Homo-oligomer: A and B are copies of this chain.
Amino acid sequence: MSGTKRVVVIGGDAAGMSAASQLRRMTAASEVEIVAFERGPRTSYAACGLPYLVEDLVGSPDDLIARTPEQFAERGIDARVHHEVLSIDVDDRTVLVRNLAEGTESVEGWDELVIATGGSGVRPPLPGIDCAEVLQLRTLDDAAEMDRLINAGATSAVVVGAGYIGLEVTEALCARGLAVTTIELADSVMAATLDADIAEPVAQAMRSKGVDLRLGTGVETFITADGHLTAVSAGGAEIPCDFAVLGLGVRPNTSVAAEAGVPVGDTGGIVVDERMHTPIDGIWAAGDCVESSHRITGDRLVVALGTHANKQGRVLGINLAGGDATFPGVLGTAITKFAELEIGRTGLSEREADAAGIPVITSTSSSRTRAGYYPGADEVTTKLTVRRDDGTLLGAQIVGGSGAGKRIDTLATAIWCSMTVDDLSMADLSYAPPFSPVRDPVVLAAGVAARELRGATGG
């Protein structure tokens, strides 16, 4: 190709800017021009850190900003905030861009296009949901508004949804001294990713911190007076509050892509191959707006998580630069905490294995995070999902005190490699009293599961 290739990136956050940065590292500015359009006011900030900003654990909002447009400019990436891409013309290889600050529009050409439009928080069309005090926690502005309300005297809040974000927001608001009611439609917390039995200690931890947790309860109405929220009506009860926060999950932003004919799967995410290329020549996509592949079931799914966005962006950037990299899929590994309780999960829960029609046994074991006699030896409960016919580890869920959560990585690695529980029960994991009992909880859990599997199958 003669002249400079132009790459346009739609979306200036984790996936898009990882792709841009990777491409920039591998190509000279004279070869490739990179322009990124971000409709919001900022590039590359850590949305996952927002609950901790609200909790006052983060020094300043600026700490969450990984890189500013000026910093990208220094690296030879033209990142333009307040620029929304309104449409893509696949035939002309252009995008129509609106400069939100100036109210102007322009047509920008591209040789290759990266769609990294992210996701948006789910907002069901309930009465009153559009009033100012029904918040989300997706942006720094959302966090600032929550902070403002608390500083202005808010003393009570309703959190809608007890998934990851709902849990983290609940923790933050409790820590700020608010009376918090958390409402969840399912009969257990974190129901999308944890089995109900393993979620029970999480619910207990929430209640022990004073959270009014209402499970099996749906929100009916956000009750307002003079346009301001006064209460949330849920499960037939009216819960007065100063503000509410939605934590109902995230959906991929795909309208611009879909309107241009870029295929979107049944999951709602943009279809990509493992090189992060869409079925349309020259159009790539990554991050919260795409489908990923599940390593065990092969199912397509959408996981909105910065770590995947980051990896997918880098894979995309390498391929865009002429290299060859693949994103190998996900296990659904996740971690969070509520107060002192750490929660990790990976692979298939019992419910997911059942839904996938995979015959499994499950095994739950209890242990300690350290040697029993060492200070801070907290309880840890581990539930494993094991393939019934051959003992392959398919999933793990961990709940426990300090040091419990990150053990999920060992289990995720074992699942990644298709280890059996028998094999894992004999693996050489580290031991010293400040770090684990003589049998690490992971080794113990695998050993118990192996024994139960033999009992269940007569093997």
* Residues of A near any B CB (own CB < 8 A): 14, 46, 48-49, 52, 57-59, 63-64, 295, 305-308, 310-311, 315, 326-337, 342, 344, 346, 371-375, 403, 405-410, 412-414, 416-417, 419, 423-424, 426-436, 438-440, 442-443
Contact = CB atoms under 8 A, between A and B. Distances in A.
A146 B361 CA distance: 50
A427 B347 CA distance: 12
A440 to B, nearest CB: 7
Nearest 6 pairs of A and B residues by beta carbon = A417-B417, A335-B430, A307-B431, A63-B373, A331-B428, A413-B413
Nearest to A62: B373
Contacts of A346: 428, 430
A411 to B, nearest CB: 8
Given A64-B373, A428-B346, A438-B310, A48 B413 contact: no
B417 A430 contact: no
A403 B409 CA distance: 12
Contacts of A416: 417, 419, 423, 427-428
B52 A409 contact: no
Nearest to A426: B328
B430 A344 contact: yes
Nearest to A295: B428
B48 A373 contact: no
A41 to B, nearest CB: 19
Given A412-B429, A413-B414, A426-B311, A435 B405 contact: yes
Contacts of A413: 410, 413-414, 417, 419, 424, 427, 429
B49 A371 contact: yes
A371 B49 CA distance: 8
Nearest to A308: B428
Nearest to A337: B434
Contacts of A308: 428
A426 B403 CA distance: 23
7 contacts: A46-B438, A308-B428, A335-B430, A406-B435, A409-B440, A413-B419, A417-B419
Given A328-B426, A333-B428, A406-B436, 4 more contacts: A48-B438, A305-B431, A403-B403, A406-B407
